[in-house]
Amino acid sequence: MQTLRSTTAVPTSVHCDHLIQARVEGSQDLRESLGENSEVYDFLKTAAAKYGVGFWGPGAGIIHQVALENYAYPAQLMIGTDSHTPNGGGLGSISVGVGGADAVEVMAGLPWEVLYPRFIGVHLTGELSGWTAPKDIILYLAGVLTVSGGTNCVIEYFGPGTSTISATGKGTICNMGAELGATSSTFPYDESMARYLRATNRAELAELAEQYRHLLAADPEVAENPSAYYDQVVEINLSELEPHLVGPHSPDRARPLSRMAQELQEDPGLVDEISSALIGSCTNSSYEDMSRSADVAEQAKAHGIGAAVPFMVTPGSEQVRATIERDGQMQSLSDINATVLANACGPCIGQWRRVGDPVGRPNTILTSYNRNFPARNDGEASTMNIIGSPEIVTALALAGRLSFNPMTDTLVGADGQEFMLEPPKPAPDVPQEDFDKGSSSYDDPPEDGSDIELTVAPDSERIQLLQPWQPWDGEDFVDMPVLLKAQGKTTTDSISPAGIWLRFRGHLDRFSDNMFMGAINAYTGDAGKGKNVVTGEEGVGFSRIARDYQAQGIKWVVIGDSNYGEGSSREHAALSPRLLGGAAVIVRSFARIHESNLKKQGLLAFTFPDPADYDRLQEDDRISLVGLKDMAPGKQVECRIQHADGTSETLMLNHSYAESQFDWFRLGSALNLFHQ
């Protein structure tokens, strides 16, 4: 017999970081965001208290930085409902980004399932120096492995170079393993981790890790013959690594900084002039990052110049913000006209109100963030986000040009004299004094929250309680129209855009009006629009078509390209298709978290055995999925395609369902199974 839990089975925390605006500057933006989102924050706070969950309020920081400061430690297994959770690998944790359904199961005490990963070993030798930063390791690696090269892999860094990198630098590298599709990334335990644990009041964990140091690193024989242990090995000599820039529009479009100027000349689609530069985020706002950026800023100030373009800083946590305010880095950045934003995701998740000329025309922004899909930052697909390390972003912000190379080019000081920037000095990874915790808002849950009531106003526009999905009726899906055949990169941002839509994230029905808004229609090349094959109307938003099909009781399918659903763990990218009547998603290949999210929400997730099968699907086709009652692990599913010209063909589709997972589909969702 099942017993009901009143609190979560594992220590759990909620973090309010995505909804905070970047409009003017940190404190005003936070104040306004608190007012605009109070209903959501009150709900989260109350729910956290009721179920024994810690609550990090708005302004406390971005989840991954806060997790590194408080929760991550060597040999830990941590899951988080955000794809950059692997940031915890900076402290030797195996931290994995998952969908909400996975998290619910873990919070309820059920085992967590993940496809057994392959292992990529990244052998680091040498030592970073000059302008090269930990960020450049992962930017370079993104170019080598590409955005799908880490799918269903754990990336393990090993070799003597690992101990030359700070724990927070390691965090940056592990954080961006998500850009390669990696399940997780991790580093061996070393002194930098011990130092960070001690500096964040966890000396006892450092001592424990010291005792078991031999278990917290690759075995010595691995270094002798890495190919015997890893499925793939990548060698990086840190002493030879150059600063890199990646983008626009994809984090694997990488090149050394020294090649950027030439590429700008060769590619007329790129824009040299930088319209805004942004540093920080969950990826790069450590004490070390801010100190090295401040070093560059101080050099500029000494020559009487400031940033040539709007320059913004997002501290990853209140602890980072308060500490760099106390220790002077923030002043140095402000001295070159930096705007310090709230300790939150802000422009990284589209909460950036840009005004003025660049909006709506091709323009370059330069960030030290992790993700650069079209329209992610300011909602404009024409904005091109190029990613570099914080110190490089700061240097290029002074020049205002992407083609600027601080290692070879000069700036002009206020006195009219040319000068060259020196590489930033090596910076401490933790402050000499203790970190300043600032005014962080954290609430421990009460001893007993069982009397706390959760209420949602029936007319709320912000929160809607979900109802269980209907179970499968046992019949095959027949004659389904193709709602969308997506072409090329289809990220969770394309399926379920954030930005202004985040406002409705707690209200699935309102939120789902954004469904597939960023997906490219393979038949027309348009984003977000397709043909209603029942009415014949063209150029209609996909959510409107889906709602129309649903009103007529018509199920629909989505056809996707390679690495479909890459990017984030955004569960809405599965919830919205489920809400609006989707039955199946058939693709060339899936990104791991999204495939799992689809399956857990009761949608069918299939892949073409031959990628060329994707080309067979026509706009007016009807699709039937046959023999669903007999689905079995490893057994292909029959897909009949009825073309509009009267011809038909049959394909056999692959899937990754284990026996136990079929009930997710049969019962309507993994949550329905869980409730049984």
Q: Which residues have a catalytic role annotated?
A: 17-18, 82, 371, 568, 570
Radius of gyration of the chain (CA): 25
End-to-end Cα distance, the chain? 11
Residue 293 CB, nearest distance to ligand F3S (Å)? 17
Considering the rule CB under 6 A, would residue 62 count as an interface residue with ligand F3S? yes
Burial 276-314, CB ≥16 within 10 A → b, else e: bbbbbbbbbbbbbbbbbbbbbbbbbbebebbbbbbbbbb
- 627 burial (CB, 10 Å; 0-12 / 13-18 / 19+) is exposed
Using CB under 6 A, count the residues that bind ligand F3S: 13
Residue closer to ligand F3S (CB basis): 67 or 482: 67
Residue 14 structure tokens: 């909620």
Residue range at the interface with ligand F3S (CB under 6 A); choices 61-69, 70-78, 464-472, 531-539: 61-69
Residue 62 CB, nearest distance to ligand F3S (Å)? 5
The single residue among 345, 558, 575, 586 that binds ligand F3S, judged by CB under 6 A, is 345
Residue closer to ligand F3S (CB basis): 317 or 576: 317
The single residue among 322, 348, 365, 604 that binds ligand F3S, judged by CB under 6 A, is 348
Considering the rule CB under 6 A, would residue 139 count as an interface residue with ligand F3S? no
Alpha carbon distance 561, 323 (integer Å): 45
Give one DSSP letter per residue of 497-564, joined into a string. --GGGGGGTT-HHHHGGGTTTTPBBTTT--BSEE--TTT---SEEHHHHHHHHHHTT--EEEEE-TTB
Q: Which of residues 524-553 bind ligand F3S (CB under 6 A)?
A: none
Residue closer to ligand F3S (CB basis): 67 or 480: 67
Residue 345 CB, nearest distance to ligand F3S (Å)? 3
Q: Which of residues 371-390 bind ligand F3S (CB under 6 A)?
A: 371
Residue 590 structure tokens: 């899936």
Alpha carbon distance 237, 317 (integer Å): 32
Residue 21 CB, nearest distance to ligand F3S (Å)? 13
Helix axes 134-145, 167-175, angle to 10 degrees: 20
Considering the rule CB under 6 A, would residue 63 count as an interface residue with ligand F3S? yes
Residue 377 CB, nearest distance to ligand F3S (Å)? 10
Residue range at the interface with ligand F3S (CB under 6 A); choices 342-350, 448-456, 512-520, 531-539: 342-350
Residue closer to ligand F3S (CB basis): 373 or 606: 373
Considering the rule CB under 6 A, would residue 349 count as an interface residue with ligand F3S? yes
Residue closer to ligand F3S (CB basis): 205 or 277: 277
Among candidates 282, 334, 308, which has minimal Cα distance to 393?
308
Residue closer to ligand F3S (CB basis): 82 or 288: 82
Considering the rule CB under 6 A, would residue 370 count as an interface residue with ligand F3S? yes
Residue closer to ligand F3S (CB basis): 284 or 589: 284
Alpha carbon distance 236, 230 (integer Å): 16
Q: Quick one: DSSP state of residue 281?
A: T
Q: Which of residues 271-290 bind ligand F3S (CB under 6 A)?
A: 281-282
The single residue among 29, 69, 82, 566 that binds ligand F3S, judged by CB under 6 A, is 82
Residue 191 CB, nearest distance to ligand F3S (Å)? 27
H helix and E strand count, the chain: 21, 27
Considering the rule CB under 6 A, would residue 84 count as an interface residue with ligand F3S? yes
Residue 621 CB, nearest distance to ligand F3S (Å)? 37
CA 546 to chain CA mean position, Å: 27
Residue 282 structure tokens: 């969950």
Alpha carbon distance 135, 481 (integer Å): 45
Residues that bind ligand F3S (CB under 6 A): 17, 62-64, 82, 84, 281-282, 345, 348-349, 370-371
